[in-house]
Structure 1
Amino acid sequence: MDALVNSSYWPFAVLLFGIIAVVVMISKFRIHPFIALMLSAIAVGLISANVPGAETIPHLVRAVEQPMVEFGNVAGKIAWVIALAALIGAAMMESGAAQRIVSWLIGAMGESRAALALLMSGFLLSIPVFFDTVFFLLIPLAITLALKTKKNYILYVLAIGGGAAITHSIVPPTPGPLIMAETLQIDLGLTILAGLAAGILPAIAALTVSRRMNAQLDIPVRVGLTETETEPVQPGLIAALLPVLIPIILISIASITDVMTGNRTPAIIAFWGNKNVAMAVGTVIALWLWAKNKNLSAKQLWEACAKPLEIAGIIILITSAGGAFGAMIKHSGIGNAIELATQNFHIHYIILAWLISAAMKTAQGSSTVAMITTSSIMFALIGTGAELPYHPMYILLAIGFGGLFLSWMNDSGFWVVARMSGFTEQEALKTWTVLLAVIALTGLAQLVLLSYILPFK
């Protein structure tokens, strides 16, 4: 038995066991992802040949303690940013800032380009706001437009979901892209800029496919709208955009300056461009808009912040647990095992990253879990990516697109879209599932091509 555990290929068995454990606990037994991921991380430690820690500490104890250490390491890097992103999202919803952005886009583009406006709204708002919240916000507009024009309901629904899904998967500060950037040790500002750029072609593909499905299928509007007593007061457009733009601008300036100066960014730029500071600035603006438009006192504002912070707490637990699980997979020696197994033939790491992420997403349903786990596996394999013929950012984006692939019944996002839009399960499979598959495959194709044309090394 000792010879088997200490063999060069044992990490593959550890990886397979860990993935199966996560999938079975989440999909079969409906165990909460946080508990499932932490239990799987401990299980991986128990069957791994080596676990970090003092040799004087028994292996069984290290197998339990190390996942807790890794959990804390990940939480320390992402908890503050995720909490602030939740506050920005809630504040933009409650203050009317999100509605103001959408109204401006639709008004500027006109009814004939409403689908494009809805896609752009989802694309922009899903950067600081979680996917399901964005869909809840925008679906009434799709229903209203469809009832008014007597057409294009499928197009409007898919435009909203497609735009929101893209940035949710590849642009921080949403949890998946954020933890991928931390795990792969890629600059956050660069990740934001690359994610926005890489999302353009898949967004175009999403809109094109949505138009074709809209022409081929006939799905009526089956859901009604909830009447509101008063129209919410909306802030000015510039004020509405600031909570989203300010963090992106500050982080991006610091990243660009870092590249241009050879890692000698002035302290003042580095400070304001730090993700924790930049997100805090955006949060202050968002909370100010919330308090101003709703006439909230300081006490009322902080009481209202409790709910989004509670939601953020759950996301932080799941994300950090996923990081701990991925770290334990890395400690198992999977990187060396994959390298040994593939030394006699070439394997394209962008395709490999996409396939692992897509397989994880299909099996257990969560894009975030798929992205977290896959990024840890790929980091164990490529490290910082210094030896790759292209920038490791391509690996990050491939993981993000893979995490979109095949959204079906085990994906909470599938049910959000189906229930809120009034689609049946079969209709959602024919539209939403196909749409995300097209986005994921388009994203992969462009990354493989660009890695040769623009390696950015």
Structure 2
Amino acid sequence: MTGLPLIIAFIIAIVLMILAISKFKIHPFLAIMAISLILGLVAGIPLTNVTEADGTVKTLGLANVIGQGFSGTFTSIGIVIILGALIGTILEKTGAALKLADMVIHLVGKNHPELAMELMGWVVSIPVFCDSGFVILNPIRKALVNRTGTSSVAMSIGLSSGLYIAHVFIPPTPGPIAAASTMGVGNNLLLVMGMGALCSVFPLIAGYFFAKHIGTKVTANDEANQNEVHKTYEELVAEYGKLPNGFNALAPIIVPIILMAIGSIASMAGLTGTINSILQFLGTPIIALAVGTVFGIIQLSGAGKMNEFYELTNETLKTVGPILFVTAAGGVLGKVISSTDMINYITQNATLLEKIGIFFPFLLAAILKTAQGSSTVAITTTAGIVAPLLPVLGLGSPVRTVLAVMAIGAGAMTVSHANDSYFWVVTNFGAMTPEQGYKTQTVGTLILGVSAMVEIFILSLFL
């Protein structure tokens, strides 16, 4: 199958995938894999390898296409995702995430509590999932409501915004790592992290002002529970005993960043020999995050919790497993698409896509996010679809590819509603009703996604 019928088949496949995940509650892994197989069959990918007369493979069979798409994704990002998640778990367990939050409060000051909550969430969510981050930091949010008299809703949305922005933009969160790898910039995570921080500026500003505004319009049920709140916060701090110092709390995050930066600098400087090899080795994402994990283990040992390390690792693997498999399934879909004639057809008729450009990955991710709820699924699935189209979209250079990763992340924020677990975390822990959640969390994530896309579009005009 070629031409317009193939494009129509592709659109139908995406619609069926969304329906399977959102309406019929089929697991994303199974839905994406099934759609990949069906699309491959409909598109006419041969069932077995087509070989030349000398025995070399001319065209891969569908089974091998699926196998390569799956294994290729695991090869490139599996270890990185696992180590990033493990670092986050350790920070959670040792109280380092709480320490990072306190550092942000001291930096911003108590006179700007909404901003403190937002920046706190943004920092903590770099290694920690936004759902977990909200649960971890919610006692601090409540305590600050008590200490400052600020609106509980404003603090909830400020915290939610900061967590969400880092969650979709900045590795080692699995979504951005998976998208970067799928789209060919997985070895340049430092650029992805830097661009993620840059693209956070507009949504952080928009989230802050929306939080202050909506706090005057909506009242949560926990506004009056302040005495109980303060006690809960103090008890939470006491559970950790002694919190780690600032360096120990930052080390698992900052050391990998420094190592990747040094590796990139060594490469740009044209160094050669043993020193260059060592720096390049330490600067690869897998090794850099492994070193960060070592610092996390040292932190765990200092907290006297090494006896819990086995169980922490086990729980992390259980959490990361579904993400890895969904990510790999997204890689399969991308491989199937690239193995069809669709790319050639789109390339020959690229006028419309060229005009859409950077907005195409944003819109596709937003549709997937709104339909099925998971930002990570939206990011990984969209990356698999967009990767073969990058040259056609005018996003083929490394910097513009990273911008496409950011556009996918912006779309994956748009919007959080009842089919998203994060929506329920924010509304339940923020003591809001579902109706209030739609006015606050849903509208807020729409503002975040659109403001982020505005910034990404502006950057695309210059990069």
TM-score normalised per structure 1? 0.90
Shift of 1:351: 1.3
User: Bigger CA drift: 101-110 or 314-323?
Assistant: 101-110
1:358–1:406 contact (8 Å) kept in structure 2: yes
Residues 330-384 of structure 1, C-alpha deviation per residue, up to 9 Å, x if partnerless?
A: 3233333333444378513111221111112112222222222222332212249
Are positions 1:304 and 2:303 aligned together? no
Q: What is the DSSP-based 3-state SS (H/G/I as helix, E as strand, rest coil) of the residue aligned with 2:3?
A: coil
Cα deviations across residues 158-200 of structure 1 (Å, max 9, x unaligned)?
A: 1111111111111112121111111221222111111111112
Q: Residue 64 and residue 269 in structure 1: after superposition, are their counterparts in 2 closer, same or farther (change >3 A)?
A: same
Alignment of 1:276-425 (within 5 A): 276-297=286-307, 300-343=308-351, 346-383=354-391, 391-425=400-434
1:35-50 paired onto structure 2 within 5 Å: 35-50=30-45
Question: 5 Å matches for 1:140-179?
Answer: 140-179=139-178
CA 1:51–1:219 in 2, change beyond 3 Å: closer, same or farther?
A: farther
1:53-202 counterparts in 2 under 5 A? 54-55=49-50, 62-186=61-185, 187-202=188-203
- Tell me the equivalent position of 2:207: 206
Q: What are the Cα deviations for residues 34-56 of structure 1, in whole angstroms up to 9, with x where unaligned?
A: 22222222222221122596226
| Change over 3 Å in CA distance of 1:308–1:283 after alignment to 2 | same
Quick one: distance in 2 between partners of 1:173 and 1:30?
28
Alignment partner, residue 25 of structure 2: 30
- Give yes or no for contact 2:152–2:220 (8 Å, CA) kept in 1: yes
Paired with 2:395 and 2:442, the residues of 1 have a C-alpha distance of 36
CA deviation after TM superposition for structure 1 residue 388, in Å: 6.5
Cα deviation for residue 127 of structure 1 reads: 1.2
The partner residue of 2:9 within 14, 21, 28 is: 14
Classify 1:344/1:422 alpha carbon distance in 2 versus 1 (closer, same or farther; 3 Å).
closer
From 246, 253, 273, give the equivalent of 1:237: 246
- The letter for the 2-side match of 1:373 is T
State the shift of 1:253 in Å. Answer: 2.6
Contact 1:190 1:252 (8 Å CA) reproduced? no
Counterpart residue number, 1:3: none
Q: Is the 8 A contact 2:416 2:442 kept in 1?
A: yes
1:252 equivalent in structure 2: 261
1:386–1:433: structure 2 CA closer, same or farther, 3 Å change rule?
Answer: closer
Deviation (angstroms), 1:145:
2.0
Structure 2 letter corresponding to 1:103: D
Which AA in structure 1 matches 2:389? L
In structure 2, the partner of 1:273 is: 283
Are the equivalent residues in 1 in contact too, given 2:323–2:376 (CA < 8 A)? no
Equivalences, count = 444
Range with bigger deviation, 372-381 or 204-213: 372-381
Runs (5+) with no aligned partner, structure 2: none
SS in 2 for 1:423: coil
Distance 1:177 1:13 in 2: 29
Contact 1:119 1:160 in 2 (8 A): yes
The amino acid across from 2:288 in the alignment is A
**Kept after mapping to 2: 8 A contact 1:251/1:274:** yes
Distance of aligned partners of 1:100 and 1:211 in 2 relative to their CA distance in 1, 3 Å threshold: same
Note the C-alpha offset of 1:430: 0.7
1:427 match: 436
Are the counterparts in 1 of residues 2 and 341 from structure 2 also a CA contact under 8 Å? Answer: no
User: Structure 1 residues 120 and 53 mapped into 2: Cα distance closer, same or farther (>3 Å)?
Assistant: farther
Identity %: 29
CA distance in 2, matches of 1:30, 1:263: 53
Q: Deviations over 1:208-254 (max 9, x none)?
A: 11111112322231787695484412111111110111111211232
Partner Cα separation in structure 1 for residue 352 and residue 10 of structure 2: 21
Let me know the Cα RMSD of the aligned residues: 2.6
Structure 1: tracts of 5 or more residues without a match: 1-5
Classify the secondary structure of the residue corresponding to 1:128.
Answer: coil
The Cα of 1:318 is off from its aligned counterpart by 1.6
In the TM superposition, what whole-angstrom CA distance separates every residue of 1:69-96 from its partner, at most 9, and x where no partner exists? 3111101111111111121111101111
